[in-house]
Amino acid sequence: MLGFGDKGHVDPTKLPILVHAIRSSDAFAAAQKVWSTNARNLRVDAANHKELLRFVFNQPACVVWLQRDQGRTDAFELILLWDGQKEDVTEVYVIEAASGAVIGDDKRAISLLNAILASPATVPVNQSA
């Protein structure tokens, strides 16, 4: 795919990236809580103009980024890279604040964000595992 890696092992019928666009006040509030709780570990990526938090989970193996554009406070990107048995799977959630009805299925995003807050297995980027 996209010219990366060994094309002989890529199944062209599968795309291991799942992208979800969500407008939900509950999901946004959960993302904001993760953001504010872990603000001391905030990093800035000057190359792509993102502010980001990075976490690592051991069981199941997963790397998580919660990020937003510098100077923007109305949207978050939650990116999860799962280390699968046969292939890696990436989930991407674009979470925007909403007033009114929820757009998209916010249940999994809220669950994942709450797991980040509750998990003692979370390791900030500036600490070794």
Res 13: pLDDT:
65
Tell me the pairing of strands 43-45 and 17-23: unpaired
Residue with tokens 């100077």: 71
* Nearest C-alpha neighbor of 20 from the set 65, 85, 64, 76: 76
DSSP letter at 127 equals: S
Cis peptide before 60 (omega within 30 of 0): yes
- Whether the CB-CB separation of 94 and 103 falls below 8 Å is answered with no
d(CA 54, CA 43): 8
Q: What does pTM read for this prediction?
A: 0.79
d(CA 62, CA 112): 11
For residue 69, the cross-strand partners are 50
Taking CB atoms within 8 Å and a gap of at least 24, the contacts of 67-76 are: 68/35, 70/44, 76/28, 76/31, 76/32, 76/35
Digit-by-digit pLDDT tens for the chain (129 residues) are 333 344 445 565 666 788 999 999 999 999 999 999 999 989 999 899 999 999 988 877 889 999 999 999 999 999 999 887 666 788 999 999 988 889 999 999 999 999 998 876 444 555 544
